[in-house]
Amino acid sequence: MTRAFLGLGSNLGDRLGYLKAAVASIGDCVAVSGVYETDPVGGPDQGRYLNVVAELDTHRSARGLLELCRALEASAERVRDVRWGPRTLDVDVLWVDGETVDEPDLVVPHPRMFERAFVMVPLAELAPDLAEGWTDPADGDCRRLGDWDELESSTSEGIS
C-alpha cells in the first residue's frame, strides 16, 4: 500500500455535494482535510471554490489514480471548455509516495501544488511532512469552513 493525495475542488452547482459524491467514490480514502472556500487562481472570472485534499492508502499507481480522477470528474459531468475555467469537479493527483512521473498528461508531484494555498493548506492538515518549509504565496483567500466529518454529514444548504 502506498500513501497518495488527491486535490478536489468545485465551483459550479452544489459544490459540497460534488465533493461528497467524489470522496464517497474513492474506495481507498483514509482521511479528508477540512473544507476550504478559496478564490480562483488563474483562468477567467469565476466563482469561489470549495477545496479538500483526500489521503489514500492505495495499490494504484499515479497513472491508475489519474484514471480514477477522470472517472470522478466524468461522474460529475465536468465540461472542459476553458483552461482553469469553472467546473463541477476538478480532481488532481498531487502526490504518490515514492513515485515521480513527468509525462504530457500527468506530472507527479503536481507541478503547481507548492504555489497554491488551496492545495497546501489542506494538505498540511493531513501530511505536515509534505508542507514543511512551504510559504504561502498569499494569492487569494483560503478560508476554512469546517471539518470534513461535520460538513460531509450536513446538508449542502448555505454552502452550495
Active site residues: 78, 87, 90, 92
How many Å from the N-terminal Cα to the C-terminal Cα in the chain? 35
Number of separate helices (H) and strands (E) present in the chain: 5, 8
Which grid coordinates are listed for 53? 485534499
Alpha carbon distance 75, 89 (integer Å) = 9
Residue 91: in which H helix or E strand, if any?
strand 90-96
Judge contact between 90 and 74, C-beta under 8 A: no
Residue with the three cell numbers 494538505: 123
Residue 128 in 3-state DSSP?
helix
Distance CA 148, CA 30 (A): 12
